[in-house]
Amino acid sequence: MEGSKMKKMPKLILALFITSVSATAAAENNDSVTVHFNGTVTQPTCGFNTSNQQVTLEPIKASDIEKVSIGRAADTSSKNFQLKMNCSSRAEAEHIAIMLTADADAVSTNAITNAASKNGVGLELFTESGNVLALNKEIPQSSYLDRLNQGDDNLNYVVKYTRLQNTVSGGEVAGDAVFVVSYK
Kindly state whether residue 131 falls inside one of the protein's structural domains: yes
Radius of gyration of the chain (CA): 36
| Confidence category of residue 33, pLDDT binned at 50, 70, 90 | confident
For residue 116, CA distances in Å to 98, 123, 158, 176 come to 27, 12, 20, 11
Across residues 55-79, what is the average pLDDT? 95
Distance CA 156, CA 65 (A): 24
Q: How many distinct structural domains can be found in the chain?
A: 1
Helix locations, the chain, DSSP H: 2-28, 62-66
Look at residue 7 in the predicted model and tell me its pLDDT: 56
- pLDDT per residue over 3-18, tens digit each? 555 555 555 455 545 5
Kindly state whether residue 5 falls inside one of the protein's structural domains: no
Q: What is the extent of the structural domain holding 108?
A: 46-183
| Confidence category of residue 37, pLDDT binned at 50, 70, 90 | confident
Kindly state whether residue 33 falls inside one of the protein's structural domains: no
The residue among 30 and 116 whose pLDDT is bigger is 116
Look at residue 127 in the predicted model and tell me its pLDDT: 93
Alpha-carbon 97 to chain mean position: 3
Whether the CB-CB separation of 154 and 162 falls below 8 Å is answered with: no
Distance CA 161, CA 76 (A): 8
Residue 58 has pLDDT above 90, yes or no: yes
Residue 47 has pLDDT above 90, yes or no: no
Across residues 97-107, what is the average pLDDT? 93
Strand partners, 137: 100
Model pTM score: 0.74
Alpha-carbon 183 to chain mean position: 4
- The CATH number assigned to the domain holding 94 equals 2.60.40.1090
Kindly state whether residue 19 falls inside one of the protein's structural domains: no
- pLDDT per residue over 130-182, tens digit each? 999 999 999 998 888 888 876 778 899 999 999 999 999 999 999 999 999 88
Kindly state whether residue 97 falls inside one of the protein's structural domains: yes
Tell me the pLDDT of the chain averaged across its residues: 84
